[in-house]
Amino acid sequence: MFLELKNITKKFLSITALNNVSISFKKGEVHAIVGENGAGKSTLIKIIAGIYNADNGVIVLDGKEVKIPSPFSASKLGINVVCQEYNLAPNLTVLDNIILGKEPVGKFGRIEKNIARERLEEIINKYALHIDLNKFAADLSAAEAKIAEILKAYISKLEILILDEPTAALTEDDVVSLFRLISILKSRGITIIYISHRLDEVFQICDRVSVLKDGNYIDTFKVSDIDHDSLVKLMVGRELKKLFPASNVEKINQKDFVLSLKNLTDSKNFYDVSFDLHEGEIFGIGGMAGQGQREFIRSLFGAQLLTGGEITFKNNKLAINNPKQAVKNSFAFLSDDRRNEGLALTQSILRNISYPSQDKRANYGVIDKQKDKAVVSKYIQDLSIKITSLYQNVQGLSGGNQQRIVIAKWLLVSPQIMLFHEPTLGIDVGAKQDIYKLLRLFAEQGISIIMVTSDMLELLHMSDRICVFYEGRIQAIISNKEATEEKIMKAASGKSINEK
Amino acid sequence: MKNNKFTAKIKNYKKNSTGTIWLLLFAVFIIVSITVQDFTRPANLANVLIQMVPLGIVAIGQTIVMLGGGIDLSVGAQISFITIIASTFMGDSILSIIGVIVLCLLLGSLFGAFNGIILKYFSIHPLIVTLCSGFLFQGLAYSMHQTTGGYIPSIFRQIFTASYGFFSVPFGLFLMLFLIFNYLLKETKFGRYIYALGGSEEVLINVGINSDTIRIKTYIISGFLCAVTGLYIAARLRSGSAHYGSDYALLSIAAAVVGGTSMAGGLGSLSGTFAGAMMVSMFNNVLNNIGFKYNLQSAFYKDVIIGIILVVSMFFYRKREL
Amino acid sequence: MTVLQLSERWKSLSKHSKNVILLFVIFTVLLVLSNVRSSIDTTVKDFFNLLKQSAGLGIIAIGQTLVILTGGIDLCLGSIITFVHVYIIGSMNNDPTMIIPVCLTGIAIGATTGLFNGLGVAKAKIAPFIMTLCSNYILHGLYMIYTKGQPRGILAGSFRMIGRIRVFGYIPVIVIVWVILSILFIFILKRTTFGARVHMIGANARASYLSGVNNDNIIIAVYVISGVLASLAAIILTMDMSAASLNLGADYSMDSIAAAVLGGTLFVGGIGGVEGTVVGSLIIRQITSLLQKANIVNWGKLIVQSVIILGIVALYSRKKKS
């Protein structure tokens, strides 16, 4: 074993992210780590990468016990990580970013850019990588950024490369290139730790797979020794029925259409999107990342500009040019970026929840303090949000609690349509269950929900209808009863689901 | 790319590259040459160049600090203080002159280090820190000299203000500093690290560079250049005063910003600042010319116009909502 | 209350409230120290004098607090004050019927400047530092042109009499106005939807926008309020003066920032409040008077002030940078 983690425990306040986890990695293997959102995968690799420090436990690299207190110390040991958040300086070129900290220096302190450029271009040409060294990092596509980061890791000592959801924002072609890159690295003896939600990828390129569940290590298998369904069972470990509340699709289909969308487009990311939404329906939108889902759902809220198409809400044509108009029409939007768009971390829980609907509890602009506190407290109770005081900062709360606060905030505007972008991103498993229950509850009360998600299980089991985006258009809309993971993946790759 | 903050700014920046500001400057120059009589007389042009020197030198330091994501509001006070030190301690002997020059350069660097070190150990916004350190240095300046005065040996003045037609020592000094620091920023590791500091401090730390050290060094450079400016002003005016540095904090920031330096850090260039300082200075010169001719209180029109120029030029460099 | 109850209460306070209480304690300590040798009579007299000295700054700092809360900064307050001041003196012509129109015009000047700033920041997305800096220059030029360097004029007698009114025999009008405005704005910031928006925009403008709020209107409003309050302060300050002064506004921009920052309204945006600014204004003026008592010359104020501000802000930013 090249890398061994022994008895690693990591707690965040009262939540145990990793509980006595021991796991080992062989040299030169591609080793996947799978688990639900909140199982501890991210925490584990951040400990290996030096971003977090474990509370307990030991890390052994190549037979020697090591300490990894910082990302820099990790990279000195040859451990590099490519996260979902980019680790490139946006105002520098790709070349500058790659050689940052290791610039070859010549006379008068001059950076020998040409030498660096030559060496890099050699590598780029050798492996036919699609990357332009002169582009500014801010202009890179997701795929190019990944390649840039891998190159950056490659030219320093690279023994272990950790990839966290590398295909999240990649097109099909990009994924093929990435896989090719991975095999190249593997052939050079580099160990690759691969985290992904996409189990089919795991079966495609990984040698072994380890399962984490609720912060615990379950087991490791050779990919050839296990099948898809068994893996899912180990990951989820509970009856899917219990995790996802049931719904009555027929009843929903009989309800009126509350929202009608025709030919919506932003002329850039999505085109010709049309569908009708029942009252009380949960409409899930999936597909590979970057196919226009993000821009679409944001445009429904006025956070992104629509250039064409019609929105009809309860038989009235609507123009939604900004969030203010959307909120007026009882739309709510829960962004995937909770910290930057959903919450003001330095403000109190009370203010965060009360904010969008505060006019309802104000007379001539003066807020009725008692009413405000009462209403907010009620929702906090109803949603089981654990807080110490209404006046505490939202910053210290867990992901699950923070999401509940965002939900509470939007419930207060009495929405008819709720737009969720990644409803359970960064939320531990216990909280996820509660949020699914809430979603179903809202739907039963007549709220219609449109939900964009990259979590396959969520998409499959929570949606009454599943819509798959491909290259900015709707590739398929599948009813819950007929949906299978295979069909969804097929549609996500642009194939017709009726094809054999 | 999740770093949305920069996506829009980079696009802005590349569009309004250094070339644009120089083009703008050139255009303004043409217009002014045509409309204002005697503007293109060599003596006047030399004057224009000489007048931009103090602002130009300070703006170099300010730009470097801003590129690293910081800001230095203490430059004005530092300049004043240095003029006072120079005019208090400089005697006629060569030894004294050189000694005081070295002393001033050291003091300026020390002040810069002071700013940088406070920023390192306390998480206070650079605006507040340098605002306060500016007050501090200003107070020190007042404590030494409450009125304008002091003595500067004439030979010191002569060397620093010598000019032959178009060429002048002061502008030559500026040019030399410009070339040195431009090289530093563009070609050396340190320069790259300054840009990285402004762009993403985290990335810099992750590759093992001590970002605090880089930051401290940018403030030391600023302080050093303030000292140079202070020495120059003392030489020009043959005196020292707690007021000599007054406008430089805000003007140097303006010159940098007009030249394309972003207030958020990571974007900008010294050539842009060069043009920005020229622009600001040139208007000064023009307005003084007009005023002299038409006997107006033009000095004050200059302020109005500078204000308008800045607003208009900001229109080109503004950050866009995403 | 038992010690346990007190400590529970303390822990439940927001960081900002803690800062303000800390500041108030420091203020009280300074007050005691400066009066330790005086009789009760002198102490009371001194205290009311302090109130009077601080009122002008206090009023102006309220506007600055609002602006900084939204994540901005207002650097043109000093110019607004000077402009309105010389305008009033210059236009009143010893004519009591002119009092109201002149004062209203003065307020309009402040409001218009604020509108200009607000539009630049909100709609044109120009950085507040630059935008208000430009306004500062423009106003400076304008009032210099207006006065041609020599401010002159005569105030109406009845106008000056208002300045001599003492409520309850002790309290000058300006203090009453300060108290009323402070209470008003503390209330607005804590209890109204407008106040919530001011805080939220500074804390996370994006989240505020996505909550369906029109950020632009709020931003414009705070700059207008800031301008109006500065004009108001200028009017009241002028009532007490016999001759015009071009230096009236001189330090107010920086001092108001210092007062707000001392009061806990730091540049992180969204955190802070007027209650702290009130104490901050008092402390800044208190430092001046303390230094006068200790017979330290004017320049000492700057040094002491900067050290104290830096020290207190360092206390607020109580975590070390990693």
Total-model pTM: 0.83
What's the whole-number mean pLDDT along residues A296-301?
94
Give residue B320's pLDDT. Answer: 33
Of C192, C206, C212, the CB nearest to A326: C212
Q: Cβ–Cβ of B208/A72 closer than 8 Å?
A: yes
Q: Which residues of A touch B193 (CB under 8 A)?
A: 100
- Residue pair C177/C59 in contact by the 8 Å Cβ criterion: yes
Is there a contact between A324 and C212 if contact means CB atoms under 8 Å apart? yes
Q: Cα(A25)–Cα(A3) distance, rounded to whole angstroms?
A: 5
Contact across the interface for C137 and B303, Cβ inside 8 Å: yes
**Mean pLDDT of all residues belonging to chain A:** 87
| Consecutive H or E run containing A30 | strand A30-34
Q: Does C210 touch chain A (CB under 8 A)?
A: yes
Range in A45-49, A208-212, A225-229 with the lowest mean pLDDT: A225-229
ipTM comes to 0.87
CA distance A205 to A183: 8
Show which of residues 138-177 on chain B sit within 8 Å of chain C, judged by CB atoms.
Answer: 138-143, 146
Span B48-68, pLDDT tens digits: 788 899 999 999 999 999 999
Confidence at B41, pLDDT banded by 50, 70, 90: confident
Chain B residues with CB-CB distance to C257 below 8 A: 131
Q: How far apart are CA A166 and CA A185, in angstroms?
A: 15
Neighbours of C (≥3 Cβ pairs closer than 8 A)? Answer: A, B
Chains in touch with B (3+ beta-carbon pairs under 8 Å) read A, C
pLDDT for residue A366: 92
Indicate whether B16 pLDDT > 60.
Answer: no
CB pairs under 8 A between A and B: 99
Residues of chain B neighbouring C303 (CB-CB closer than 8 A): 135-136, 139-140, 143
| CATH numbers and ranges of domains, chain A | 3-237 (3.40.50.300), 241-492 (3.40.50.300)
Closest alpha carbon to A50 in B203, B211, B206: B206
Q: CB of C307 within 8 Å of any CB in chain B?
A: yes
Q: Using CB atoms, which chains have 3+ pairs under 8 A with A?
A: B, C
Domain B4-33+41-317: top CATH class = mainly alpha
Q: Find tokens 């907010």 and name the residue.
A: A376
pLDDT score at A239: 59
Flag if B188 and A111 touch (Cβ within 8 Å): yes
Q: Is B208 left (phi over 0), alpha (psi -120 to 50) or beta?
A: left
Q: Is A193 helix (H, G, I), strand (E, B) or coil?
A: strand
- Those residues of chain C that have pLDDT short of 50 are 320-322
Residue A270, classed as helix, strand or coil, is: coil
* C-beta atoms of C126 and B121 within 8 A: no
pLDDT of residue C318: 61
Residue in A with minimal Cα distance to C201: A344
User: Could you tell me which residues come within 8 angstroms of residue A443 by beta carbon, excluding any fewer than 6 positions away?
Assistant: A247, A252, A280, A281, A282, A449, A464
The 10s digit of each residue's pLDDT in A367-415 is: 999 999 999 999 999 888 888 888 888 887 877 888 999 999 999 999 9
User: Count of CB atoms within 10 A of residue A91's CB?
Assistant: 27
Scanning the structure block, which residue is given the tokens 């699914």?
A: A436
Q: Whole-angstrom Cα distance, residue C150 to residue A81?
A: 68
Q: Check CB contact under 8 Å for C140 and B300.
A: yes
Q: What is the mean pLDDT of chain B?
A: 82
For residues B247 and B258, give the distance between their C-alpha atoms in angstroms, rounded to a whole number. 16
Asked if C320 lies within 8 A of B300 by C-beta distance, the reply is no
Span A320-339, average pLDDT: 91
Asked if C144 reaches chain B (Cβ–Cβ under 8 Å), the answer is yes
CB contact under 8 A, A355 and C209: no
CB of A155 within 8 A of CB of A120? yes
Q: Is the pLDDT of residue B288 over 80?
A: no
Q: What is d(CA B5, CA B321) in angstroms, rounded to the nearest whole number?
A: 9
Assess whether pLDDT exceeds 70 at residue A247.
yes
Which DSSP category does A24 fall into? E
Of A52-61, A80-89, A308-317, which range is least confident? A80-89
| B 251-310: CB under 8 A from A | 266-267
Is the minimum CB–CB distance between B118 and chain C shorter than 8 Å?
Answer: yes
pLDDT score of A263: 92
pLDDT at residue B311, rounded to an integer: 65
Beta-strand (E) ranges in C50-90? none
C54 touches chain A (CB under 8 A): no
